[in-house]
Chains A and B, each alone.
Chain A
C-alpha cells in the first residue's frame, strides 16, 4: 500500500466528515470549518493523484500541486469573506444563526445601521 493510497483514503474520509458536519452542525462558524475540511480533503485527493505518477526522476506531477496552492489561497479568501459576513450579521442582529425564525428579527435591526 503506497502513500498515495493511504493519504488519498485519508482525504476521502475527511471529505465525508466535513460533509456530515456541514449538514448537521447548527453553528455557522462550525459550518465554515466543515466546508474547509471538505476542501482540504479534496486537496489531499489531488495530492494523492499527483503522487501516483512519482518515479525516480520526478517526485510527482507538478500541475495538480500548483492547482492546490492556488486552491489554498482562494479557499482562504472565501473563508475570510464568510467570516466577515458572519461577524457583520452577528453585530447587526445580535445573533448569528441560520434558523428560519432568526430571519425576521435580523431584518429590522440591520436596517437601523
Chain B
C-alpha cells in the first residue's frame, strides 16, 4: 500500500468519523460543529480528488456560510431540544431505519464498484473546444459555456430561494431588514477581525473571480468569499443588512440572471441558438456575465444566511 493510499484512507476515516459525530451527537450545537468540521475536511477530499474548484466552493459554503446559518439557527432553537428528544422513535423503528440505510448504501456501493472501465469522460472534448471561449479552466468553460443553461437556471433557483425566505416575514415586518441587528463591542475582537479581514477577503474574492478563467476559481467561489466578508462585518455590528424593499438591492439581486438572460436571448436573435456566444466576443461576454453573477451570488448568499426580515422598516 503506497503512502498516498494510506493518507487517503486516513482522510476518509476522519471524514466518516465526523459525519458519524454529526449524526450521533446528543446536543444539536455539537452536531452543527461536527458538520462544519466535516465540510472543511470534505474540501480536502476534493483536493485529493483533483478538483480544486469544487474544494474552494465546498470550503466557502460548507465550512463558512453554511456553518453560520446552522450555528445561529441552532442557538435560536435551543429550547426546542427537549421537546424534540421526546419524539425519538423506538428501538424497532431505529433498527428498521438502520436496515433500510444499510441496504441503500450497499446498493450504491455495488454501483460504485461496478462502474464501467475505461471510464467515460468528456475531458478531451472540453479541452478541444476550450479555444472557442479563450478560457483555460475546463470547469469554468463547462459552467459558463458548454452547460450554461444549468448555471442560468441555478441563478433562478437562488433567487426563488431568497423570495421564499423573505416571504416568511411577518406582515408588519415586510420591507424591513433581514435578521436581527447584531450588537458587538466596537473595540472587541470580532470588530477588529472584521476590520482586518474584510478588505483582504474582498481582494481574495475578486481575485478568485478573475483567475477563474484559467485557474481554479470562478464566480461562485469568489462571490461566496465576498458574501462571507459581508456577513462578517454584519455579525461584528459594523453594518446592517439592507432593507428588502431597497430598489438598489433588488437590482443587484437580478443583475446576474438578468445579464445572463439578455446575452442568451441575443444569442437566439443574432446567433445560432439560445446562450450561444459569437466566437469573437465569447470571452468579454462571459466576463461580463461573471461580474454581474458575482455581485448577485454575493448578495443572494449573504441574504439567504441572514434570513427573513425581522426588523421594522424605518421610514
A interface residues, Cβ below 8 angstroms from B: 1-21, 23-30, 32-34, 36-37, 40, 43-45, 47-55, 57-63, 65-70, 72-74, 76-81, 83-88, 90, 95-99, 113
Q: What does DSSP make chain A's interface, helix, strand, loop or mixed? A: helix
Is B89 part of the contact surface with A, judged by Cβ < 8 Å? yes
Q: Is the CB of A87 within 8 A of B61?
A: no
Residues from chain B with a CB closer than 8 A to the CB of A95 are 79-80, 83
Kindly identify which residue among B1, B23, B88, B151 contacts A37, using a CB–CB cutoff of 8 Å.
B23
Interface contact B19-A14, CB-CB below 8 Å: yes
Known A-B contacts A62-B122, A67-B150, A72-B61; A16 and B101 likewise in contact (beta carbons under 8 Å): yes
Name B212-257 residues within 8 Å CB distance of A: 218, 220
Mark interface residues in B1-40 (1 if CB within 8 Å of A CB, else 0). 1001100110010011001101100001001100100110
Interface size on B, residues (CB 8 A): 102
- Within the complex, the shortest CB–CB distance from A112 to chain B, in Å, comes to 10
A52 contacts B119, C-beta separation under 8 Å? yes
B143 interface residue per 8 A CB criterion = yes
27 A-B pairs in the complex with CB atoms less than 8 angstroms apart = A12-B112, A15-B108, A17-B16, A23-B97, A24-B93, A26-B89, A27-B28, A37-B22, A40-B38, A45-B108, A45-B112, A49-B115, A52-B115, A53-B119, A58-B138, A60-B50, A63-B126, A72-B54, A74-B154, A76-B65, A76-B304, A79-B70, A81-B161, A81-B164, A83-B73, A86-B77, A95-B83
Which residues on B are within 8 Å of A, measured CB to CB?
Answer: 1, 4-5, 8-9, 12, 15-16, 19-20, 22-23, 28, 31-32, 35, 38-39, 42, 45-46, 48-51, 53-54, 57-58, 61-62, 65-66, 69-70, 73-74, 76-77, 79-81, 83-89, 93-94, 97-98, 100-102, 104-105, 108-109, 112-113, 115, 117-124, 126-127, 138-139, 141-143, 146-147, 150-151, 154, 157-158, 160-162, 164-165, 168, 170-171, 218, 220, 297, 300-301, 304-305, 307-308
